């Protein structure tokens, strides 16, 4: 009996020693010059620009997919059952948000919008009519907005800049405020577009499977 107990104890000690040796080897590899298999570069800390762009990416994903979900022949749709007199059509909703993206992006970069943004009632240029053209105008506007947000730093985030919505240059804003506006404005109109889609029997892509 004593021999069996001694054998078991000896086996346990051998296993423990082997495990310790393996753990020591792994620790040595991980703390080396970074060439070991277990090494990995530390994640870059978030910046103001990366956080803001992450939020913009969220609304971009939902808004663009919603815009694409509506058939082209329904881009002229606007609700009529209730108090909806004078509201924007679906296509105008999309164009309006895109035009605002372009204008705010230009304001952040301190330049004029690189595309036409003007139209009656802030609905964007009426010359952009087909779904394909409106979708391109929208996608390009988000890319431009991301480029503009990339320029925001801790040093310039709350510095005063000219508001892109006041041609006189008297009204002031901050880059941080304008970036936040991009996100809030997009979600405001996304909520309206959801009603337009569901009124036409279409579930918004972001809501499918929930």
pLDDT given for residue 9 in this prediction:
35
pTM of the model: 0.78
According to DSSP, residue 81 is labeled S
CATH architecture of the domain covering 49-77+86-204 = Up-down Bundle (1.20)
Give pairs for 133-137: CB < 8 Å, separation 24+.
134/67, 134/75, 134/91, 134/94, 134/95, 134/98, 135/64, 135/67, 135/68, 135/94, 137/95, 137/98
Q: pLDDT digits over 43-66, tens only?
A: 888 999 999 999 999 999 999 999
Q: pLDDT digits over 93-105, tens only?
A: 999 999 999 999 9
């Amino acid at each position: 009996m004593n021999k069996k107990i001694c054998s078991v104890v000896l086996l346990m000690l051998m296993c423990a020693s082997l495990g310790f040796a393996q753990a020591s080897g792994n620790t040595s590899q991980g703390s080396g010059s970074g060439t070991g298999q277990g090494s990995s570069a530390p994640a870059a800390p978030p910046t103001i620009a990366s956080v803001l762009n992450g939020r913009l990416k969220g609304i971009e994903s939902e808004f663009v997919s919603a815009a694409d979900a509506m058939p082209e022949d329904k881009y002229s749709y606007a609700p009529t059952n209730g108090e909806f007199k004078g509201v924007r059509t679906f296509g105008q909703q999309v164009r309006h948000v895109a035009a605002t993206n372009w204008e705010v992006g230009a304001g952040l970069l301190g330049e004029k919008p690189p595309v036409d943004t003007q139209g009656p009632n802030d609905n964007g240029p009426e010359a952009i009519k087909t779904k394909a053209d409106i979708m391109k105008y929208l996608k390009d506007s988000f890319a431009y907005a991301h480029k503009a947000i990339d320029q925001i730093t801790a040093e310039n985030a709350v510095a005063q800049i000219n508001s892109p919505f006041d041609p006189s240059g008297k009204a002031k804003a901050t880059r941080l405020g304008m970036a936040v506006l991009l996100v809030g404005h997009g979600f405001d109109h996304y909520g309206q577009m959801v009603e337009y889609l569901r009124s036409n029997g279409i579930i918004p892509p972001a809501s499918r499977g929930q």
